[in-house]
Amino acid sequence: MSSQPSAVQCDLPITDDLSGVFRYVARQPILDLRGRVHGYELLFRDGPQQLKFSGDGDHATRTILDNMVIFSLEKLTGGLPAFVNCTHEALTDRLVDVLSPSMFVLEILENIEPTPELVRACCRLKTAGFRLALDDFRWRPGCEMLIEIADYIKIDFTLSDSLERRAIRDRLRGRAVALIAEKIETQEQYHEARDEGFTLIQGYYFCRPELIENRKIPANKLTQIEILRLLRDSSLDFEKLCDLVKRDPSLTYRLLRLLNSPACAVRQEVRSIKSALIAVGEEGFRRIAMLAIASELNAGQPGELLRLAFVRGRFCEIAAEECGLDAKEQYLVGLLSLLPAMLHVPMQQLMPALPLREEICIALMGAAIPERMLLEWLICHEHGQWQECDKIVDEHKLDQLKLLHWYTEAVAWSEAALRAA
């Protein structure tokens, strides 16, 4: 039997050897109306004393730009555009010139005055190939010059009402600029933004879809959940596993396609579940089967939801051992945390169908117990809630640097897994 496929390694360092200061880097998706990822905004924060990156410090901006060059932070976006906040200095003193114009969208912060110097700098950057975005946009005197060269205008739904947004849209009519609705966290907000004419959406609304009470879980989904339980067992019941997989033709096809992909590095063609197990070994088969099942569970949902599930599962898995938790269980905690969004069924309703021990079920329900600490840290990290991240680290005596490294490794692994799946 061949050995288990190794996880994709991410060569993105988290610390700057010169300064010894660690940094938070998270990403938030920007999706189109069909649920496809258009790009990611990268959220930055220096040490634990800084609760968020506000863009009002020139030193902070220099540090961020340096790190994007040295550490290739664009890897966090999977090759998609990276939206980054820029200060007045970063734009006028040519600091952003170190970035690749094709990879980065420069966000002009709302507190930057549109002076002639700034407009000239932005025109130069636009000519160089950068795309420009006006962040947290609200109409103000002198903004017309920036609107003329902007590619995106971002409007925060928590800072504006429908009347203000309508007035902005009316004044922008006829201009070739894409409107991004920011801070969209619910399906209701998503529908509102879509109906108002926004073409791009930023936020985690896809994690909180409309849940349908008393909806029956489809039979094939129950089968896939049962397979997840078998894969978690230390002793694999191979005969029962093969029987369950064969009941689901689409899962069988997806599983064999994954096993035959370059990502698995299997040197022989795989034609059956039995030959797959022989080719990759039990542990390798467990991992690939979990990816296939996750893809099936997410069928018909935005691809970003599956990507996020992979990140959560892999992060919880690789962080588990050092935190005294079971790695296989933690993988399921991360992966299944988005099951309600995939199936549109409340977690309370899913619990009886999840063959997990009681503590894991309680953790998935949101209880603040050790089995949930890694997932909770990651959810806070996804939303840029740095203070909550610090509280979890302090309470459970976790290693902040290792958590950040595991996050970037999980992102890289999920990108490779999603391409294969």
Q: Encode pLDDT of 341-361 as tens digits.
A: 888 888 888 888 777 788 999
- Give the pLDDT confidence score for residue 421 in this predicted structure: 56
pLDDT: which is higher, 365 or 95: 365
Q: What is the DSSP letter of 235?
A: S
pLDDT given for residue 194 in this prediction:
94
Q: Angle at which helices 219-232 and 273-297 pack, to 10 degrees?
A: 120
The end-to-end CA distance of the chain, in Å, is 23
Q: Say if residues 154 and 136 touch (Cβ distance below 8 Å).
A: yes
- DSSP assignment, residue 289? H
Which helix (H) or strand (E) segment is 24 a member of? Answer: strand 24-32
pLDDT higher than threshold 60 for residue 394: yes
Report the percent of the chain where pLDDT is more than 90.
29
| Positive or negative: CA dihedral 32, 337, 282, 319 | positive
As a whole number of angstroms, the distance between CA 83 and CA 92 comes to 18
Range scoring the smallest mean pLDDT among 61-70, 178-187, 314-323: 61-70
Whether 370 has a pLDDT exceeding 90, the answer reads: yes
Burial 305-322, CB ≥16 within 10 A → b, else e: bbbbbbbbbbbbbbbbee
DSSP 8-state symbol, 8: P
- Nearest residue to 337 via CA among 306, 304, 358: 306
The candidate with the shortest Cα–Cα distance to 291, out of 320, 264, 265, 270, is 264
H/E stretch holding 327 reads: helix 327-336
pLDDT at 65: 61
pLDDT (tens digit, 9 = 90+) per residue, 174-208?
888 999 999 999 889 999 999 999 999 999 988 88
SS3 19: coil
Secondary structure (H, E, C), 83-127: EEEECHHHHHCCHHHHCCCCCEEEEECCCCCCCHHHHHHHHHHHH
Whether pLDDT at 52 is above 60? no
pLDDT at 391: 93
H-helix or E-strand containing 336?
helix 327-336
DSSP 3-state assignment of 415?
Answer: helix
- Assigned token pair, 322: 């050092």
Q: Which two tokens stand for residue 282?
A: 């039990």
d(CA 201, CA 221): 29
Identify the CA nearest to 190 among candidates 237, 226, 157, 152.
157
